[in-house]
Amino acid sequence: MPQTSSGPVLQLLASGLQRWIRNQCDSVEELNLALQGSAIELLRGRLKGVSLEARRVSFEQLPLLRAELQSGELKTIFRPGQPNQPLQLKDPFSIEGEVVLSGTDLNKALATDRWRWLADLLAEQLMGLTPLRSMAIDNDRLVLTADVITGKDPVQRSFSLCADRGTIRVNHCDAEAKLLLPMDPSIKIIDARLQGGQMVIKGNATVHP
């Protein structure tokens, strides 16, 4: 996504926003911004919005292949005399967009201390077993594998995904079991699906700077 900003003021703002976004993430491989607005609006303390496209992002130890986001209006304080932090965001703002996760990366994340609780929740609530050995995405199916205490072969079950009540619902493909995933109240999921070994999630959120 090309950056559409022009002029030294908006260039400085874009640099400050990129720095702020990178500071919110564990790591970002590629990040592009496009600003909607003018230098005059910025000096008056507002910007119409920001479009963002990022690739290979780690946010709260959750690896994202791709993120495409659009913000609502931003209320800002512009401080050109402070080059290390030329921009301060004043109030909460809205974002909406899409993120994509690979099944391989998601499986690795569920094995970390940060997300082990979610792996255990999936295995216990959907399969009646813990711990979860692995998770994979097979086309449009989520495949969970859990160990059996008796030492028999591990149990494997398939599930589908959908958006429901602002979060993600995991549905057992061969039984009545289903699970609504815990979700931050500031986030609302409007679409969730599996395709080609990836999880695609669309939603909106309120960001508190």
Task: Note the pLDDT tens digit of each residue in 109-128.
Answer: 999 999 999 999 999 999 99
Cα 14 to Cα 138: distance, rounded to the nearest angstrom: 39
Token pair of 158 as six digits: 């398939």
Q: Say if residue 131 is preceded by a cis peptide, omega within 30 of 0.
A: yes
- What is the mean predicted confidence (pLDDT) over 184-209? 94
pLDDT higher than threshold 60 for residue 2: no
Tell me the per-residue pLDDT of 127-152, one tens digit each, with 9 for 90 and over.
998 889 999 999 999 999 998 877 67
3-state secondary structure of 153: coil
Tell me the per-residue pLDDT of 69-119, one tens digit each, with 9 for 90 and over.
999 998 877 766 665 666 677 889 999 999 999 999 999 999 999 999 999
Q: How many angstroms separate the Cα of 173 from the Cα of each of 4, 82, 140, 189?
A: 46, 56, 11, 21
Q: How many angstroms separate the Cα of 152 from the Cα of each of 30, 121, 136, 147?
A: 45, 22, 21, 8
Angle value at C-alpha 53, between 51 and 58, nearest 5 degrees: 125
* Percent of residues, the chain, with pLDDT higher than 70: 90
- What is the mean predicted confidence (pLDDT) over 6-14? 70
- What is the mean predicted confidence (pLDDT) over 42-57? 88
| Greater pLDDT, 33 or 190 | 190
